[in-house]
Amino acid sequence: MKKLVPLLTVWLVASSLTACVTQNYGNDKDTPLIENEASRNEIAMTRISLGLGYLKMGNTQQAKLNLEKAKRFAPNLVQVYTAFAHYYDTVGEPDLATQAYEHALSIDNQDADTLNNYGVFLCRHEKYAAAEQRILQAIAIPSYILVAQSYENLALCQLKAAQFSKAEIYLEKAIAHSPNRASSLLQMMRLQYAKGDYKLAQTYLYRYEKSTRRFSDEALALAFKIFAKQGNKVTAKNYANMLVKMFPNSILAKQYILNELYQIEADKLAAQYQALQSGTDNAKAKKRIVVLSPKSNDNKANANLSQHGLKPIMANSVMPPAVTADNRRQNQAADEQLVKPVEHKREKIALPAKEEQQTATPQQNTATVSLPIHVVKKGDSLFAISKQYNIVMKSLKRWNKIRPPFTLKIGDVLYLADPKSAAKR
């Protein structure tokens, strides 16, 4: 039934469009005549939505047909050409996509969404300098609100270009604009791990955990590697157990069972960083890192954006790692193994010791205490969990900082004891 939802949604939009617009054409058979009070821009935006919907379903013919109709209704609407650019990029016509983006900017060179999307497009096609320039232009527009997302896009683009210093600077800016943005914190964890700064990666891990109650399999795998690299096997094992419990069918969980996550995507990034550093040291050449800054335009009249603007089509796009033949064989072997469900039990979680008690060795740097957890599964509620473990529901709320409306999601990790009290033992 879920597969029918997108088609049904598009059909409903098309039905509503037919109900409110009678589309006839004049003597030239090209110029549409509008027989009601709906504006041309509104009708064009509806056609754009239809076109992008068809494109998402893979019906490129209907997608282009609706975009062409949108162009007839509003030939000077920026969003028409931004949508065309996305269409051409999807069907593998980068030159036509470039022309569409340039045409959109010739209409309004202060449209931030177009600038951001154009920058992401250029980065994907390895035109890194031009991509950086376009995204910074979007950030410089005062009315643009997706600044953190754009800085994160810049960081990912610089990582793709193997510019680690620039990537770190842009991630810092993204986090400064949105301190609790989980995706930016996760990318910073990944970057610090690649650079070998495991302590700083651990710091960003704690910030990531505070910013979101829902762990991803990538975050848990990376947390395992961060503590394993520091020799803290107890805490690393805890994160590995959470990975297997919460994501038993994921590739990373199966990889842990096979080889204890011998190499994850962050390890490949680390190898790239080390190779780059080694090459720099051998050549004894230090490159000057130049970071561009967005320049504000004093002319506020040019900063007005369309009230019917499209959302950034490719904002927060993350380039997934390529799947190699070795990975396929590992995944196939992992599928043949059964992942047995692990019953909830008291886990050993390593909590940081006080600063004055820290010593030089990593294993003496933490105090291991017994702290039980519960991973939320289907059908769970606060009342049921409190009854299952004989814990006052008010305490569960306080320990896990659960606020009204007290909703739980599958995969949430709940503490069954007070973390603060456990840390003092």
CA dist list (Å): 323 to 244, 264, 320, 329: 22, 12, 9, 10
Residues 6+ apart with CB under 8 A from 424: none
Please report the domains of the chain, with CATH numbers, ordered by start residue: 181-280 (1.25.40), 373-423 (3.10.350.10)
> How is residue 181 written in tokens?
């943005």
pLDDT tens figures, 31-70 = 555 544 358 888 989 999 999 999 999 999 999 999 999 9
Paired sense of beta strands 23-25 and 32-34, if any: antiparallel
- Distance of alpha carbon 371 from alpha carbon 292, whole angstroms: 47
Over residues 288-322, the pLDDT tens digits come to 555 555 554 444 333 333 333 333 444 333 333 44
Classified as helix, coil or strand, 413 is strand
Amino acid at 235: T
Respond yes or no on whether the N-terminal peptide bond of residue 372 is cis (omega within 30° of 0): no
Range of lowest pLDDT (88-102, 224-238, 399-413): 399-413
Q: How far apart are CA 240 and CA 225, in angstroms?
A: 9
- Binning pLDDT at 50, 70 and 90, where does residue 336 land? very low
C-beta separation of 244 from 253 below 8 A: yes
How would residue 144 be classed by pLDDT, with cut points 50, 70 and 90? very high
SS3 417: coil
For 260-311, the DSSP string reads SSSS-HHHHHHHHHHHHHHHHHHHT--PPP--------S-GGGGPPPTTPPP
Q: What is the largest CA-CA distance in the chain?
A: 87
- The H-or-E segment that residue 351 falls in is strand 346-352
Q: Which two tokens stand for residue 357?
A: 């008690």
* Number of C-beta neighbours around residue 298 at 10 A: 7
Sign of CA dihedral 405, 406, 409, 410: negative
Q: Nearest CA to 380 among 342, 340, 339, 413? A: 413
Q: What residues contact 117, with CB distance under 8 A and at least 6 apart? A: 82, 85, 86, 101, 312, 313, 314, 315
Residue type, 384: A
> What pLDDT is recorded for position 373?
84
Mean pLDDT over residues 278-285, rounded?
A: 62
- Distance from C-alpha of 248 to C-alpha of 342, rounded to nearest angstrom: 10
Does 147 score more than 50 pLDDT?
yes
Question: Do 116 and 134 form a contact (C-beta atoms < 8 A)?
Answer: yes
Contact 245, 375 (CB under 8 A): yes
Cα 298 off chain centre by: 32
